[in-house]
Every structure is written in structure tokens, then in C-alpha cells.
Amino acid sequence: MSMSRVRDYYGTDVATAPLEATVAELVDRMAQLAVGCVVVVDGGSRPVGIVTDRDITCRVIAKGADPATTVAGSIMSKPLVTASPTDPIETAVDRMRAAAVRRLPVVRDEQLSGLVAFDDLLVELAREVDELADAARREVEVARQRGRRERRREDLEESLAEVRRSFERAGRDAADFVRREFESISERLRRTPKT
């Protein structure tokens, strides 16, 4: 994870709206794109704030404000906490934690490049952990197989050594038997009278 960068995780389909967009327009935009936030941009398309579904609930609905007349610029969260595509992912997570936010707009050269969301990070990091776990399981299985092969080789070497010892014993026993038989025959020949 230490080499992972924000660019590996952020999405580029980001809902944006100008400062003067109404909350009703923001809600429509969120519903169309099935997202939980809109990045608010100024006249130069620079991101300046963010409006989340929670912001709408707490700052508009709970206060009885009119969604048709309340504008994004008046309810957006600011200053905007952002990340760069080249930031280490740990930096982005630290920024989210410090600002108590779950989404960071990704900005390059003062322009919006995308959005990294904590939930998306969790999914991606869980996938990476699964991949690492799979790799570890494969390594363990390879080690087990290697261990089995090594044990099998050791068992075969031990069996071969036992066979060699058996042959050596059998050879000694056969040699002893032949020697005894030879001595026995020789002894009988000596006792047998010559004719």
C-alpha cells in the first residue's frame, strides 16, 4: 500500500455545479448521476467547495430553507480539502480523517481531475488485501509442496540408504555363507580318503 497513489483510486465522473446553482438543481444532478455529492466550481471552473447529501439534510431541510432559492455557494463545505493525483493514498486518508470528510476532490493545476471517496478506497484496499492474501496462500501452498517434495526426497534417500545397508548385509551374509560352505566342503575333502 505504501506505493499506492491517489491516481490509482479516484473516479473521474464527478458531478459539478456553479456557485449560483440552487439546492433543487443540486439534488436533481445528484439523482441523475446517482452520487452523494456535487463539487462546486467558480467561474474559472476551479473547485471551491463541496455539497454532500448530508449538507443538504443538515443545512437546508433541517433548517426549513427553500431548496428552490438556496444556492450552492451558501451551503457548501469550505475551504475545500483536496488531494493531488500524485499524493500517496495514506496522505489522502490522513486528510480525510483530519477534516472528518469521506470525499476528496482530486485537483491538478487548480482544475478538478476527479474525486476519491473513502468508501471506494475501502473497496479497492479490500480487493488489494484479498489479492495479497491469495498470493500468500499460493506461497504457503508452494512451500508446503516444496516441503512435501523435500520430505519425499528425504524419505527416498533414507529408503535407498536402507536398501544399500540391506544389500551390504546380504552381501556379507552371502559371503559368510559361501565361505562357510567352502570351508565345510574343504573339510569334507580333507577327511575323505584318497583312492
Q: What is the DSSP string of 5-48?
A: BGGGT-BS---EEETT-BHHHHHHHHHHHT-SEEEEE-TTS-EE
pLDDT at 5 exceeding the cut of 50: yes
Among the listed ranges 20-24, 48-52, 186-190, which one has the minimum average pLDDT value? 186-190
Average per-residue pLDDT for the chain: 85
Contact, 57 vs 75, CB < 8 A? no
pLDDT in tens, 24-70: 999 999 999 999 999 999 988 899 999 999 999 999 999 999 999 99
Cβ–Cβ contacts within 10 Å for residue 10, how many? 22
Are the C-beta atoms of 84 and 116 separated by less than 8 Å? no
Pairwise CA distance, residues 20 & 117, whole Å: 25
* Predicted pLDDT at 26: 96
Furthest C-alpha separation in the chain: 145
Whether the predicted pLDDT of 188 surpasses 80: no
∠ CA 14-92-87, nearest 5°, is 90
CATH classification number, 6-117, choose in 2.60.40.420, 3.10.580.10, 3.90.700.10, 3.40.50.300: 3.10.580.10
Residue 2 has pLDDT above 60, yes or no: no
Q: Which amino acid is at 60?
A: V
DSSP helix/strand/coil, 113: strand
Entry pTM: 0.63
Predicted local confidence at residue 1, as pLDDT:
41
Number of helical (H) and strand (E) elements in the chain, helices listed first: 5, 5
Output the CA torsion sign for 154, 156, 160, 163: positive
What is the predicted pLDDT for the residue at 133? 80
Lowest mean pLDDT among 2-11, 13-22, 70-79, 111-120: 2-11
Residues in the chain: 195
Tell me the average pLDDT across 136-150. 81
Burial of 15 (0-12, 13-18, 19+ CB in 10 A): middle
